[in-house]
């Protein structure tokens, strides 16, 4: 059965561009972004890994570690990393998993036979420190991912894990959030002292609690 939200992310041991890692040990108490790319030495993937490397400080300040995966081998990874660093003006310092036997790709449902029965699609998973799958996004090979959206989702996940709120459509860090329906209106003042506004009894907004 394929992974679903709330499932425990499978552990694995993998050969990577930074040596052999145990996934759970690598993750530690951090959040994880694990994403697959169809193949090394491909144009869209080159820009994606470059974009990820350029956002290093954004991931660090959110306590996020990054892992990338393809079904190509370490030798190809090593040469391709040099190309990425050169063309994208970055330094790849996160692990690229060499999943030649496709064990990890299959465990995470990264191979979609109707798209390709040999290459991984652009799957992306956000995994919380307790190793639960919190988000899954899948793009076709022809469409590069929006990593600003990945950061936005991480901000939402980390905020809503701590407070009884949800984030509305197109929400960005610092904007008002929605009070969870589990909170009675008469209890909002005590939980959210910054105030609130009621649009409908089921639609109540409050300033972002940690700002």
Residues 76-106 have pLDDT tens digits of 999 999 999 999 999 999 999 999 999 999 9
- Both tokens of residue 27? 């993750």
Nearest one of 209, 166, 157, 177 to 6, comparing CA atoms: 157
Q: What is the pTM of this model?
A: 0.93
| pLDDT at residue 117 tops 80 | no
**Distance (Å) of CA 124 to CA 18, 110, 185:** 20, 9, 37
Q: Which residues pair with 26 in a beta bridge?
A: none
For the chain, percent of residues with pLDDT exceeding 90 = 86
Kindly give, in sequence order, each residue whose CB lies less than 8 Å from that of residue 156, ignoring residues fewer than 6 positions away: 167, 171
Nearest to 157 by CA among 132, 192, 187: 132
* Residue 37 backbone dihedrals phi, psi, to 5 degrees: -130, 145
Q: At what angle do helices 74-88 and 43-54 cross, to 10 degrees?
A: 70
% the chain with pLDDT above 70: 96
**What is the pLDDT, as a whole number, of residue 111?**
81
Task: Report phi then psi at 108, rounded to 5.
Answer: -100, 5
The per-residue pLDDT for 116 is 67
Residue 110: φ, ψ to 5°:
-85, -10
Given a cut of 80, whether residue 121 has pLDDT beyond it is no
Domains of the chain with bracketed CATH: 13-145 (3.40.30.10), 163-206 (3.30.1020.10)
Residue 198 has pLDDT above 90, yes or no: yes
Q: What end-to-end distance do the CA atoms of the chain give, in Å? A: 40
The predicted structure's pLDDT at residue 114? 67
- pLDDT for residue 119: 65
The catalytic residues are: 45
Smallest CA-to-CA distance from 129 within 197, 20, 19, 31 is with 31
Query: Cβ–Cβ contacts within 10 Å for residue 140, how many?
Result: 11
Residue pLDDT, tens place only, 124-178: 999 999 999 999 999 988 899 999 999 999 999 999 999 999 999 999 999 999 9
Would you say 45 and 38 are in contact if contact means Cβ atoms under 8 Å apart?
yes
117: how many CB neighbours lie within 10 A of its CB?
Answer: 8
Please provide the average confidence, as pLDDT, over all residues in the chain: 94
């Amino acid at each position: 059965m394929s992974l679903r939200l709330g499932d425990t992310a499978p552990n694995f041991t993998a050969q990577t561009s930074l040596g052999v890692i145990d996934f759970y040990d690598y993750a530690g108490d951090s959040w994880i972004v694990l994403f697959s790319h169809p193949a090394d030495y491909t144009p869209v993937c080159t820009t994606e890994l470059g974009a990820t490397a350029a956002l290093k400080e954004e991931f660090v300040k959110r306590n996020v570690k990054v892992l990338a995966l393809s079904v190509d081998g370490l030798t190809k990874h090593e040469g391709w990393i040099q190309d990425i660093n050169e063309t994208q003006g970055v330094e790849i310092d996160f692990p690229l998993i060499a999943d030649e036997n496709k064990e990890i790709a299959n465990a995470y449902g990264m191979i979609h036979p109707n798209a390709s029965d040999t290459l991984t699609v652009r799957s992306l998973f956000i995994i919380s420190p307790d190793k639960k799958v919190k988000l899954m996004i899948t793009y076709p090979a022809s469409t590069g991912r929006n990593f600003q959206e990945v950061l936005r989702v991480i901000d939402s996940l980390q905020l809503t894990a701590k407070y009884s709120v949800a984030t509305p459509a197109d929400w960005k860090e610092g904007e008002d959030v929605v009070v969870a329906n589990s909170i009675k209106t008469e209890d909002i003042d005590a939980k959210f002292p910054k105030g609130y506004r009621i649009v409908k009894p089921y639609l109540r907004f409050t300033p972002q609690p940690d700002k």
